[in-house]
Structure 1
């Protein structure tokens, strides 16, 4: 049986399990007066709104209730190694203002986080929203994150960020919840929420400057013991001991098959290529060597994913990042289906990202809204309100 606090009633309405006072009474077993008291607090606090009447029951029409998606806004930033996607979104996920820019995450946390704060200030102004309307901030970063603290742990491509207090830094500007997670985790969550909501187990692999993966099980990101789950790029490959990775080790998958590694390999073959994005441009332009390298890289990743698929048995495998629309995907499919057990792939859908570059901000938004409007968080906010009353 669900909980019966005001926050629990909001969760029932947000999930669609109840839409009227009568339905809330039936689901929770609470009296009419108690439901009314708790709904009054939620409506007065701006969490809920009445939207019309439900005439489907045939009796006296019931007033419909819904989550007030205009209760505030969420600030999100999806940081890659060489780009950032920032946005102001309402609580329903609609974009009010956003931009894609190219900062350098290697400039360090203080410079990058101050820059993000300044850009969010400007985007709020563009959106016509006030700072006191911000309900939470969500950040995605290209490195392992201890989700409980919001701190990055030994990130290979984020010099100076190890154990930096990102949450505390951002809360000096925004006195609201700040949540930080790995970028691939947020992309996986975004795809699951927006595209595959009924899939109980999903894996997303992001191939860009590096390689990472996000795993979503029963609607929740699986992060492992301290945020290290999904660090696919640092699985060692046999026979590639001369390929040095950004982490300092040799033979890592990212050193062989990431967009950054392929840019280096194409440069060594005689075509100067500075980045993963530039490598993508070579593939798109029809460069035969770039296409060959992309397909071979996909095969190496497919070998590793065969193990992942046999271990996790996901329903959907999403390929995202710079190489998601290239010959790389062909290579992944070739080796994945060769190496994985038929039972593990017979119900598996292998697809590319539907959200593309927006996956990270969609996931960051979902992360923040689900946290800020969780029952315990709502109850805490209501109890802290100046006119808080005890509902019976």
Structure 2
């Protein structure tokens, strides 16, 4: 058997959950089976090749069954997503009639989740025979999730999703399937933080935005000058002496102030220019809390689209200051608190996600500030 044919994940007969090879004993003592064919597996944990699971038949390790790796990755991802208490939904971008619209991403709390495939094979929801991989129930809404390993959501299924009118998020794991060498920890980190693998298979607001953009286009009688509005995302075309559209949530601001715009996977349409982007965020988003530290200053800002996400910026007076030490301390604290840190669309700013995110970070930076004061160290005067 070639080493790259090994399974990264297996189904534990003891717990009924997917596990990776780092979590089990060597050989048949792993007590695992293949998620695809149900055959007995052994954990190969030698010194030469990468560790993996292999099929064990008639006293020897054999090659894969057809679809073993795909099914294992698919089952592991479903299990992880179904276990989340919060999820950060990506922004939606719609392009229609030469215009663009976006809805910003947001963080929602998940009350409960279901795995329809585990429900004795019951068809899920109605005559359309739609069975999503994960069903997440939040406050006042339901989100479906589809895990793509080899087969994407096609037009036929997308149409059926539309008839149910439930927003469906797709995770594209095709690249992960080809790479291999995944653990549950690294897979979950990718699922939560890699915006490149997330996209909307269906969004309940997409049809409305497309209709609005078409109506805006049809209402125009002369050639137009393009103008886009960030955050609310609606791309307006401005004709002649008509008044500039006002940015929702940004009183008195004209949309032209922020152009040109780019699409950010979390925020939607935002200014391309870094200075304009900072000004836009300062005007639209909640005021940050400032923490004076030794040789540095930290800013903590609530994410406006959900309670489970915050932005953190740490600045120092000089390259030789303590900024890097505070950055490292933040990373370590986030790991210990079960929070996830990702780089944001602005240099020096990180987005931190997780339960009670703002409260935990406020306690962390407040403790750092008190420590600075107790040591009698000079606070930054940035």
TM-score by length of 2: 0.28
Structure of higher CA gyration radius: 2
Larger strand fraction of residues: 2
TM-score by length of 1: 0.28
Higher relative contact order (CA 8 A, sep 6+): 1
Larger helix fraction of residues: 1
